[in-house]
Amino acid sequence: METMIDRRKHLHSMPDHARVWIYQSPRPLNDDEVALVQLLMDDFMSDWTSHGARMEAGVSVEHNRFIIIAADEQKAAVSGCGIDKIARAVHEIGKRIGTDFLDRLTIYYLGDEGIQSAQMSAFWALRKAEKVTSNTLVFNNLVRTVGEWKAAWITPFSASWHQQAWGG
């Protein structure tokens, strides 16, 4: 049986082609919450299957805010039901600690005070006011693979999907 530490290392050593899902908390988690989320996600991952096949997968809580899950689909494909299982587990963990990891309408970026967030409409206003510049680092939670996550999860606004949506 893998330990929590082994599974975290496993995430970072997953092949670049492994599929990634990122869930974000609207607030930073304290260290106890991070440990609990990691433990509960590790428990989920140890039993995660898709069409009866155990998933070769890893998970980590990054920056006290993001749950990163990766699965090697060359070993076993993740079905829609398998993805639903992830979402349900993450939702239940969020309810347990009082946060919503399923909010997809918030943009995360690095500001003067560390990780900042803004609802999409407010982010647009920040861009128009030039408080978000081309050099502002944004979290691209739409990356699809471990390789993209490693290379472009945190990227300048000018190199992200955000540029296409809120260029200017």
Q: Where are the domains of the chain?
A: 4-97, 106-161
DSSP class of residue 30 equals P
What is the total residue count of the chain? Answer: 168
Sort 161 into a burial class: Cβ within 10 Å, 0-12 / 13-18 / 19+: middle
pLDDT in tens, the chain (168 residues): 344 444 454 788 899 999 999 999 999 999 999 999 999 999 998 888 888 888 889 999 999 999 999 999 988 888 888 899 999 999 999 999 999 999 888 999 998 889 999 999 899 999 999 999 999 999 999 999 999 999 999 999 998 877 777 555
27 Cβ neighbours under 8 A, 6+ residues apart? 65, 99
For residues 124-151, one letter each, b for 16 or more C-beta atoms within 10 angstroms of the residue's C-beta and e for the rest, the string is bebbeeeebeeebbbbbbebebbeebee
CA dihedral (58, 59, 62, 67) positive or negative: positive
Sole residue written with tokens 């082609």? 17
Query: What pLDDT sits at residue 41?
Result: 94
Query: What pLDDT sits at residue 122?
Result: 94
The distance of Cα 124 from the centroid of its chain, to the nearest Å, equals 22
Q: What whole-number distance in Å separates Cα of residue 165 and Cα of residue 158?
A: 11
Query: What pLDDT sits at residue 13?
Result: 85
- Report whether 100 contacts 25 (CB < 8 A): yes
Query: What pLDDT sits at residue 5?
Result: 42
Task: Supply the pTM of this predicted model.
Answer: 0.89
Query: What pLDDT sits at residue 167?
Result: 58
Smallest Cα–Cα separation from 58: which of 38, 74, 77? 38
Provide DSSP, 61-106. Answer: EETTTEEEEEE-TTTSPPPHHHHHHHHHHHHHHHHHHT--TT--SE
Smallest Cα–Cα separation from 59: which of 153, 146, 165? 146
